[in-house]
Amino acid sequence: MVTYDKLIFELSAPGRRAYSLPKPFVKGYAMTELPAALRRKTDLLLPEVSELDVTRHYSNISRKNFGIETGFYPLGSCTMKYNPKLGEEIAALPGFANIHPLQPAGSVQGALMVYDELQKLLAEISGLACFSLNPYAGAHGELVGLMIMKAYHERRGDWRRTKVIVPDSAHGTNPASATVAGMQAVEIRSNPDGRVDLAALKAALGDDIAGMMLTNPNTLGMFENDICEITRLVHEAGGLMYYDGANLNAILGKARPGDMGFDIIHINLHKTFATPHGGGGPGSGPVGVTRELCEFLPNPQVKASDGHYYVFESAEAIGRISAFYGNFRVWLKAYVYILSLGRENLKALGGLATLNANYVKESLKDDYELPIAGVCMHECVFDGLKDKSTGVRTLDVAKRLLDYGFHAPTIYFPLLFPQSIMIEPTETESKQTLDAFIATMIKIAREAAETPELVKTAPHTTPISRIDEVMAAKKMILSYKDYLEDRDKQGEN
Amino acid sequence: MSTVLAGLKYSESHEWVKIIEGNIVLVGITDFAQSQLGAIVFVDMPDVGAKIVAEDEFGAVESVKAASDLISPVTGTVIAVNEDLVGEPELINEDAYGAWILKVAVDDMSELDNLLDKAGYEKISK
């Protein structure tokens, strides 16, 4: 296969054109009526290409992409499950696709109904009282949740609570969100089982603690068995519990964060509720809270009354955290997913994800170092190859997987182990796919022993081979202009 | 296997301290730390004149694998930073004990007694 790496601008030939614009659905306006000051004086610098040029260009580009629809994507912590087409179909309906957030509420009752019903579904699923769907993604949800935590303490006149406890296994976004929210992250170590160390937690608690952020199951795929004791201790010390919903998939319908004692949570709709993600989004990170915190949820808010839906701004809210209501069409897809699966199937999903992860874990533990034995939840973590003598590292294994048509797992996270490989198969993969992946991982372990150079120099079959990561970090080429400048410079040398 | 030098003091968070003279010390990260981090691409250092406090962070190292906080092994004032690391952070990978990060005037030299010696650090850096 010849590697295609052109930009569409490089195909441009003067005078070539191909377009048929759709009829405008907004009537009664003509471009010529625009005031002269608002009209362009120069031509648009668009590529001049034929329809065939465009079609070939994007077909070729798409062949360099790897997504869940190309192959197995076991990226730990990211829950790369299949995104059903039904969601896309519903979200593309003109009644949803062509509305505008500034339309009067009376003309978008259907969209507001989806808002209201989805927040109620999420409340039932999570065991919290009320939700805002406005946050744009998981980390944004974390920030909003911590702003609520902070506002809660400050409104009580308690200004000393500026610290947030995060375990050392936490997602990097947790301490980052605490910092952005103007608080200070306090890290506590995990115990040898990879769970929260109660002694370390007790030592960190005090009247300067605003709360604790916890993912359950945690990033090692371990359920926090002491969760009720953890939430009790934090509440006793006057703090609030924040649930990072990144791993909610594993316990969906079986256990509810609200029942465990969490006060604030975010849910990654783009993970647990199967909306597309990767490549930067769009995500959606609804935030849910207990009854006593409902007043803090951000504006604008949607409320139902007498069969009508209203948009309003609450004076008690922490303010606005989004331009409008969040990523509407992402929630639409999550709403479709929840309703089409229903209660029974939603309950089955975490069990299947857990079964898949344990199947992979047990099948690979002879060749890969399993630092924490026992049953895991929806994902499993290895600490590199069992045989460390070959010099083949986790990075090499991940690169070699690409040669066999698999997306690499998450590597070097969690930070608890030097050679972490984090595998999350999700419930949507078949036994056949898992078996093919397992066989390949075992084959790579054998290659590492017999032909280590082959693995250390992988990948060999991808359009771009091993990247010089140091160079990539130090010398960034971020635009076409930079690329041209760099190419000219190379030419001179 | 990573190297641990005699005559230096070590923290559990993998920084080393070398006494130059009096209360003037150099601070860097250990060979074990650099081997765990992998290729280092950026070192975030404090300004000269900054006060640093033992067990508090004073900067960060970023490698292709991760970004890690640098934890100060001593309390004192930064009197120099290693400007060579701005353009060539990989110097730490090449020689972790040669590529110092900070030169510090330490407030109280007895604080160094809390740090590990070669044998103590070897135990935690395997």
Question: What does the domain layout of chain A look like in residue ranges?
Answer: 87-341, 351-471
Instruction: Write the DSSP string, A107-118.
Output: G-HHHHHHHHHH
CATH of domain B9-108: 2.40.50.100
pLDDT score of A17: 85
Least confident range from A20-24, A109-113, A344-348: namely: A20-24
Contacts B41 to A, Cβ<8 Å: 469-470, 473-474
Looking at domain A87-341, its CATH architecture is: 3-Layer(aba) Sandwich (3.40)
How many pairs of residues across A and B have Cβ atoms under 8 Å apart? 16
Decide if B41 and A473 are in contact by the 8 Å CB cutoff: yes
How many CA atoms does the CB half-sphere of A195 hold within 13 Å? 17
Alpha-carbon distance A88 to B75, whole Å?
58
pLDDT score of A1: 56
Check if A87-341 and A351-471 are the same fold: no
pLDDT digit string (tens) for A15-71? 998 877 787 777 777 777 888 888 888 988 889 999 999 999 999 998 888 999 999
pLDDT score of A45: 85
Decide if A412 and B62 are in contact by the 8 Å CB cutoff: no
Decide if B41 and A418 are in contact by the 8 Å CB cutoff: no
Residue among A412, A469, A470 minimizing CB distance to B66: A412
B→A interface, C-beta within 8 Å: 36, 39, 41-42, 62, 64-66, 90
Region A5-16: mean pLDDT is 91
Q: What percent of chain A has pLDDT over 90?
A: 80
Contacts A467 to B, Cβ<8 Å: none
pLDDT digit string (tens) for A136-176? 999 999 999 999 999 999 999 999 999 999 999 999 899 99
pLDDT score of A237: 97
pLDDT digit string (tens) for A412-450? 988 889 899 999 999 999 999 999 999 999 999 999 999
pLDDT score of A493: 60
B67 contacts A473 by C-beta, under 8 angstroms: no
Q: Which of A404, A413, A424 is nearest to A360 (CA)?
A: A424
pLDDT digit string (tens) for B62-111? 998 888 889 999 999 999 999 999 989 999 999 999 999 999 999 999 99
In the predicted structure, residue A452 carries a pLDDT above the cut 80: yes
In the predicted structure, residue A115 carries a pLDDT above the cut 60: yes
Decide if B90 and A470 are in contact by the 8 Å CB cutoff: yes
pLDDT score of A472: 84
Tell me the ipTM for this assembly: 0.71
Kindly report the nearest CA distance between residue B76 and chain A, in angstroms: 23
Cis peptide, bond prior to residue A286, ω within 30 of zero? no
In the predicted structure, residue A279 carries a pLDDT above the cut 70: no
Non-local CB neighbours of A137 within 8 Å, separated by 6+ positions:
A268, A270, A281, A282, A283, A284, A285
Decide if A474 and B62 are in contact by the 8 Å CB cutoff: no
A49 contacts A394 by C-beta, under 8 angstroms: no
End-to-end CA distance of chain B: 8
Torsion, CA A228, CA A233, CA A236, CA A240, rounded to 10: -70
Kindly report the nearest CA distance between residue B23 and chain A, in angstroms: 31
Decide if A412 and B36 are in contact by the 8 Å CB cutoff: no
pLDDT digit string (tens) for A71-91? 999 999 999 999 999 999 999
Q: Coil, strand or helix: which one is A172?
A: coil
CATH of domain A351-471: 3.90.1150.10
Phi and psi torsions of A269, nearest 5°? -60, -35
pLDDT digit string (tens) for A185-222? 999 999 988 899 999 999 999 999 999 999 999 998 89
pLDDT score of A280: 60
A86 contacts A51 by C-beta, under 8 angstroms: no
Q: Which of A447, A441, A427, A446 is nearest to A363 (CA)?
A: A441
Region B56-64: mean pLDDT is 91
CA quadruple A128, A134, A137, A140: dihedral sign? negative
Show me where the domains of chain B are located: 9-108
Q: Greater confidence, A244 or A469?
A: A244
Decide if A473 and B65 are in contact by the 8 Å CB cutoff: no
Contacts B12 to A, Cβ<8 Å: none
Average pLDDT, chain A: 93
Interface mutation vs chain B, best among A383, A470, A475, most B CBs within 10 Å: A470
Number of H helices, E strands in chain A: 16, 12
pLDDT score of A415: 83
End-to-end CA distance of chain A: 31
